[in-house]
Amino acid sequence: MAEVSTKKWYVVRAVSGQENKVKSYIETEISRLGMSDYISQVLVPTEKVVQVKDGKKTVKEKVYFPGYVMIEANLVGEIPHIIKSITGVIGFLGEVKGGNPVPLRMSEVNRMLGKVDELAVKTDNSQSIPFVLGETVKVIDGPFNGFNGTIEKINEEKRKLEVMVKIFGRKTPLELSFMQVEKV
């Protein structure tokens, strides 16, 4: 019998726009079946978006990965079937037809939970900054993956860079963390 403590993170594909409903359906079903030992967390990664409407600022939670719900679980026995049969669930991400759901790698989990930045901030700040102003770097993560740019500003505290990238012939400033670029 697999140990209950060997939980991994999985991504459940949900009907887009229903992520929070799916999250509460999963939680309700798990507690109804008394299976909380096997599933410890159900998360819908969100980001706070500030909108100004009629001169009023409102903060809305926007789902960060539409159509995805993360669960920390030990998928033994019937659990994958139970989750797949929940309303709004399409299936698991990365599963081969008929195969087992594929767990996320720790680095992916950290990135999705935004821990990479926190960890980067908490690392020893006496660590030298690996970049210099005016240096050309390559973006290795995010929507501008593969673009080259020039470092315009370095924020040591937050471990972020402002990189000027040429997009469609126009220079565009991007704020990227140290982890998202590499030296060319």
Pair (33, 60) in one structural domain:
yes
Q: Where among 113, 132, 147 does a domain terminate?
A: 113
Q: Look up residue 13 and give its amino acid.
A: R
The answer on 100 and 48 residing in a single domain is yes
The pLDDT, as a whole number, for residue 114 is: 67
pLDDT number for residue 26: 95
89 in the same domain as 41:
yes
Q: What's the average pLDDT block by block, 10 residues per block, for the chain (184 residues)? A: 67 92 95 91 82 80 84 91 94 75 83 60 55 90 87 88 87 88 88
In a domain, 22, yes or no: yes
Nearest to 65 by CA among 21, 12, 26: 12
pLDDT of residue 5: 52
Whether residue 140 sits in one domain with residue 84:
no
CATH of the domain at 98: 3.30.70.940
What single letter denotes the amino acid at residue 46? T
**Contact between residue 138 and residue 184 where contact means Cβ atoms under 8 Å apart:** yes
List, in sequence order, the alpha helices (H) in 33-180: 79-84, 106-112, 115-122
Q: Residue 36 domain-assigned? A: yes
- Which two three-digit tokens encode residue 114? 């935004």
Q: Which domain holds residue 37?
A: 8-113
- 176 phi/psi in degrees, rounded to 5: -130, 150
Examine the domain organization and report whether 63 and 44 are in the same domain. yes
178 and 128, same structural domain? Answer: yes
Q: What is the per-residue pLDDT for 127?
A: 53
| Residues 74 and 139 placed together within one structural domain of the fold | no
The count of domains in the chain is 2
